[in-house]
Structures are given as structure tokens and as C-alpha cells.
Chains A and B, each alone.
Chain A
Amino acid sequence: MRTFANEIRDGLDQALSDDPSVLVFGLGVPDPKGVFGTTLDLQEKYGEKRVFDMPTSENAMTGIAIGAALGGFKPVLTHQRLDFALLSMDQLVNNAAKWHFMFGGQRNVPITIRMILGRGRGQGPPHSQNQQSWFAHNPGLKVVMPALASDAKGLLLASIFDPNPVIFLEHRWLHNAQTEEATDMPIPLGEAKLLREGDAVTVVSVSYMTIEALHAVDVLKEQGISCDLIDLRTVTPIDWAKIETSVKKTGKLLMLDTGFKSFGIAGEILAHVTESCWSSLQLPPARLTAPDYSESTSPALTKDYHVRAEHIAAKIGEMTDKPVSIEPILNQRGAAHDVPGTWFTGPF
């Protein structure tokens, strides 16, 4: 068994080994915890010039990554939370996203920015933001959001060797997810993955939401409701073809996102499907997302904050006008509501 975190680490290891122009840096990269285990031993293996810690200078270090990329390297910059990377929006949006465009296509910027998405156990407002839509909104940035441990390495390799800036978003609750199959091959960016097949509803999801969706869809299947479940894997570029094909079959779309509801990627997908699949739609497309307010620190205020499998199952029941039982989902749950499982003991 391999974990999502193992797969990320091996992806970095493979990239560093295959290509001497790959660099890996970020706060805590060579420290004893190695960014939740994702960078362990890489400095010992590849040396301090290619794998290094950095000052708490997120914006400048992003610009430095851009410069190194223009100088022929492929930097992978890691942030332990997306929230810290917000300091680098200037370099990401004004430089990285636009360099190729504003210099008439002369140079590309092959940087990969790993950002970890927090949730639960007291993370609080500025350690739990899922701001994928900020990045996806910017032409010139690719946004990758792996869900399955088996996809983590392939998507990371594709991101590192993509000629463009890629924002690689790892949900903290996925780091301990397990897989038996692992691939050494890059997974092309822009290809969603159909994880379950059915004709009741098209469920599209990203990142950690896909794990909740898998629970819901599998439980509903036993109750006679079969859904298509599409894991987006990359937000931009997005696999519209797979989504449209499915919606044309089911006539019903449920989009799941970890981010705030308004002006988010779920809204964009609903709008696109409304435009492109209007005549196939039997129902208004629906979405389940985080609400339009920040996640509080107190566990009392996070109980109903997140969308979980039971909410997804109930929503699908509503959309198919069929009775569903969420008992089997609730019965499977062992850990407190604010942790992904008993493996998570915090603090981050």
C-alpha cells in the first residue's frame, strides 16, 4: 500500500532523478517532517543546490522560481498551506501567468507551485482556504487538483514537465489516502477520469470532494441509483467533453467543490453545462460546495460546514426523486467530524 503523500514524494524523486533541471524548494522541505512526508530525504539524495529550505518570503521566492525557470530550470515550489501562497499572487498573476502572453510567446514559464489545502481541527480562517477559483480565473495558469492517491504522482509529473505555470493543489485530508496501483507515467493535464458509471445523475467533483462522492455513489448504487462520477483532476484545462457527454446521457448535473460557493469553479461548470447541454437538461444543474463564509476554528462551528457523503447522497435522492438511506454512510464513520480519520492528530 502506498499513500498519497508517498506518491507525491516519489513523483518529486523521479522528476529530480530524470531531469537535472528540476529544483524543489519551500519552507520546511528538508526538515525532519518533510512537508507531511512529501519531501523526505530528497535533499540528502539530490543535494542542497537542487533541494532547499527558503526564507519566509513567498512572493519573492515565487519570482525567483520564475527567474530560475527562465534560466532553464524547472522549479517546484511548495507551500504548506495555500493561504501562505496568497502572498505570492503578484508574481503568479502578473508575471508567471502572463510571461508567455505579454512577450508574444517567446518564453514559457515551467514552474509548479504545490499548495496544500487545509480543513478541520482548528485550522481556522487563514489555514483552510480552498481558493482554486482565484487561480483558475487567470488565463495562463493551469490548476491541478488530484483526488486519488493513484493519480497523485502522474499528475505531479505532468505538472512539473508542463511548459506552463501549474498550481498543484493537494488537500491535506488526502495525504493518507491509500492506493495499490501506482504509475510512473505522467497523466496528461486536462483529462478527467470517469470513476463510476451510471445514468441517474452526472456527479462532477474535485480533490477531496471526490472521496466523499465515491462513498455516496457506491452506497446509492446498492440502493439502485447509479451515477456517473467524474473526477476532474485538472480544473484548467478542463475536460468539457467528458462532462458534456455524461450530462447528455443523464440530463442531470451535480457539481461538488471544496471552495466557497459564489463565483467559484462549481458556478463556472454549471454555467458551461447550461450553455452547452441546455436541451439535454432535465433539471437545473446543482452544486454542493463550501458555504459563502470562512471556516471557523471552534469545532462547534464546523460541524455543518463541509459537504459530506450523506449530503451528496441526499441531494442525488432529491434530484432523482427516489428515497435514499444515508444510514450506511453514517455507520461507516468512525472519526470526529473535524478530522479525516484517526491518523490525523494535527496540528496542521
Chain B
Amino acid sequence: MTPELAKTLSHGMRRIRTVEETIAARYSEQEMRCPTHLSSGQEAVPAAISAVLRPTDLAVSGHRAHAHYLAKGGSLKAMIAEIYGRVTGCARGKGGSMHLIDEAVGFMGSTAIVGGTVPVGVGLGYSLMLKGTDDIACIFLGDAVVETGAFYESLNFAILKNLPVLFICENNFYSVYSPLSVRQSHIKAIHEKVAGFGITTQDGDGNDAASAHEIITKTVADIRAGKGPAFLEFSTFRFREHCGPNYDDDLGYRPDQFIEGWNAREPIRQFETRAIEDGFLTLAGIDQMQEEIENEVKAAFDFARASDFPPAGEASQHIFANQMKGSWK
């Protein structure tokens, strides 16, 4: 750990948290009219990734993608505008919260169908292999994704071709209201099952930004060095309901003990307490950082709400492209 890294991780987590909690606070205004899956509680892994990846690395994600998009450097203003359905949104209002894109920083897209971007991420890895750079493709996935056929088919191909692909599984133990126990055998943990394919795997504490950063740093270096794909499983905990701005623990689908245990390991406080003790962060420094973040987030919401809606004619546009974009050489 260094003071710079501590600041980067703390800032990354606080920025995601502040964005998500601001969305939650304003959602009931009924201006963000799309299903929205928040990442509150799951900030540590994205913040750690953010500190390791570079803009030329590529990333894809799924329905809960805000944190991943922001971690990759995606434009905050364009994301908030997208959730508000405005023409300045990253997808011009076509896609909403689940369909984020910012190719300028390598965030190649998130989509709403569980597992839908896993093969896409492997294909991006294939393109990087063909180009011969040492960039990597990062695939963000939830614990339900490892139940899809496409995941295993993609994994097989990534290993077969020794592709520069990093699979990051954020295991929050639930898919909507369904616990892992009704979806997957408990005989082996997710990373153990995946290891059976012959890929490098490791598990880590997804609420510990410092250790996640260490694991990711080493893993990414190995992938860049040509050692092939890797799969990381980080356990973590989502604060709010699966989709939407509220808490839903009154429904009783997550045991009290589980909730209490995870709340005690809230990632930002946990990280900062230690970093302050170790002299890497100061309370004053954190306060200043938080103020800057809040100003940035406020500016993004102001931008989104001041932006125009897309003109009605755009509803029927973008069916076919009439121009080739992004072609190699």
C-alpha cells in the first residue's frame, strides 16, 4: 500500500457509492424510468480493478454495470444522462441503466441478458490476441452467470486459445431473491468448479479493496505476460434490493446473520479505518475527497436533467449501420 494507492481505492469506492446512493435517493422522483441495479456495497472490486486496468484494456459487463463502467473510466455524465433517458446518454437513451458503453475508455458494453456478454468478452480477447498487444479483456459477471451454458463454452474457448481474458466473478450469493443453494451444488465453490477446466483461479474477499487489488495486480500481470486467461471469484454483498432504490430485507430472503455479518465488513469503512491507522489516509483528506466527489456527482445529475430527450425520430434509427467502424488496420 502507498498513500497514492490508498487514495485511489478510497476515491474509487466512494465515487461509486455516492453515485449509486444519489440514484437511490432520487429514484422516486420517477424521472429515471428504467430498471436500475445498484452496486452499493460491491465497490471494492471495481475500485481495485480500476487501479490496475488501463484505458486500452477492454471490459464488458451485465445488468449491474454502473460500478464496472465507472471503474473503467466511463463518463459519469453520460451514464447518468442514459439513466434519465436523455440524448446525451452514453447510448443516446436507447438502452438505459443496463446498457452502458464508453468505447473511448475500453468499456465495450453491458447488456441485460444474464451471461450475454461473456462470449463477447472472450471474442474481444481473441481480437487482442490477434493484434498482439498486451492489453486484456475483462469480463464482469455475477454468480448466476456460471449457471449459463455460454459461460462454460466461452471458458473452454478462452483456455483453448490461451486468450488474454480476465473473468471477474462478484459472488454476492444471490440471483434476485434466489440463494446459491437453490441454483448450484455446494460441493465445490465457484472458483473450484471453474478450476477444473484448467484455468488459473483464485478467490478473494470482495469487500477488502487492498487484498483484491493485490490479487488483481498479480493476475493481470500474468495475463499480460501471455500466461493465458484467469478467473477470480470475489465474495461480496449487495446492500439494496436486486433492482431498484430500496432495501428489501423485510422480505426475509437473506438470513439476518448473513446481513449483519456483511454489514460489519462494509468495504469503505473497513478499508479507510486501516488506511488511516497505517498513515496512508487522513480524515481531513477523506472529507475533502468526498466533497469533490459530491460536486462531481451533482454536476453529472445537473447535466443529465438539463439535457434534452432524444428527438422522437431517433426511435426508429440505428437499426442498420451504413458505415464500417472500428475496423483493424
Q: Which residues of chain A have a CB within 8 Å of any CB of chain B?
A: 27-28, 30-33, 52-57, 59-60, 83-84, 87, 121-127, 291-293, 296-305, 338, 346-348
Contact = CB atoms under 8 A, between A and B. Distances in A.
Contacts of B253: 31-32
Given A31-B176, A121-B34, A296 B182 contact: no
B109 interface: no
Nearest to B36: A347
Contact of A127 (B112, B115, B310): B112
Contacts of B183: 53-56
Given A27-B178, A28-B176, A123-B35, A301 B96 contact: no
Nearest to A301: B315
Contact of B315 (A31, A84, A304, A346): A304
Interface in B77-118: 85-86, 89, 91, 93-99, 111-116
Q: Give the 7 A-B CB pairs with smallest separation, nearest first.
A: A122-B34, A298-B85, A298-B93, A297-B96, A300-B309, A347-B35, A55-B147
A293 B319 contact: yes
A66 B35 CA distance: 33
B96 A300 contact: no
Contacts of B312: 300-301, 303-304
A27 B35 CA distance: 18
B interface, over-half SS? loop
Interface string B285-315: 0000000000000000000000001101011
A299 B251 CA distance: 30
Contact of B177 (A28, A57, A83): A28
B94 A298 contact: yes
Contacts of A126: 111-113, 116
B95 A60 contact: no
Greatest chain A CB density within 10 A among B35, B111, B144 is at: B35
A121 to B, nearest CB: 5
Contacts of A298: 33, 85-86, 89, 93-94, 96, 309-310
Contacts of A52: 182
A interface, over-half SS? loop
Given A300-B312, A301-B310, A124 B144 contact: no
B38 to A, nearest CB: 11
Contacts of B97: 122
27 contacts: A27-B175, A27-B178, A28-B176, A28-B177, A31-B178, A32-B177, A54-B182, A56-B144, A56-B147, A57-B147, A57-B149, A60-B149, A83-B113, A87-B148, A121-B33, A122-B35, A126-B111, A297-B91, A298-B96, A299-B33, A301-B93, A301-B312, A301-B315, A302-B315, A304-B312, A347-B244, A348-B243
B261 interface: no
Contact of B243 (A30, A84, A301, A347): A347
A302 to B, nearest CB: 7
B223 interface: no
A271 B184 CA distance: 48
A285 B109 CA distance: 42
Contacts of B176: 27-28, 31
Given A297-B85, A304-B312, A124 B96 contact: yes
A301 B112 contact: no
A59 B112 CA distance: 17
A304 to B, nearest CB: 6
Interface in B206-242: none
Contacts of B65: none
A291 B312 CA distance: 14
Given A291-B316, A304-B312, A347-B36, A297 B93 contact: yes
A347 B36 CA distance: 8
A127 B36 CA distance: 13
Greatest chain A CB density within 10 A among B116, B144, B310, B316 is at: B316
B324 to A, nearest CB: 21
Nearest to A54: B183
A84 B148 CA distance: 11
B315 A297 contact: no
A28 B112 CA distance: 17
A334 B232 CA distance: 50
Contact of A338 (B33, B91, B99): B33
B238 to A, nearest CB: 15
A348 B95 CA distance: 15
B137 interface: no
B295 to A, nearest CB: 27
Contacts of A124: 34, 94-96, 98-99, 112
B326 interface: no
B255 interface: no
A347 B97 CA distance: 12
A311 B311 CA distance: 21
Contacts of A127: 35, 112
A304 B315 CA distance: 9
Nearest to B313: A301
Interface in B169-186: 175-178, 182-184
B252 interface: yes
A301 B314 contact: yes
B145 interface: yes
Nearest to A59: B149
Nearest to A48: B182
A26 to B, nearest CB: 11
Contact of B99 (A33, A59, A297, A304): A297
Given A297-B99, A298-B310, A347-B36, 14 more contacts: A31-B253, A53-B178, A56-B114, A56-B144, A57-B149, A87-B149, A124-B112, A127-B35, A293-B316, A297-B34, A297-B93, A300-B310, A304-B315, A346-B35
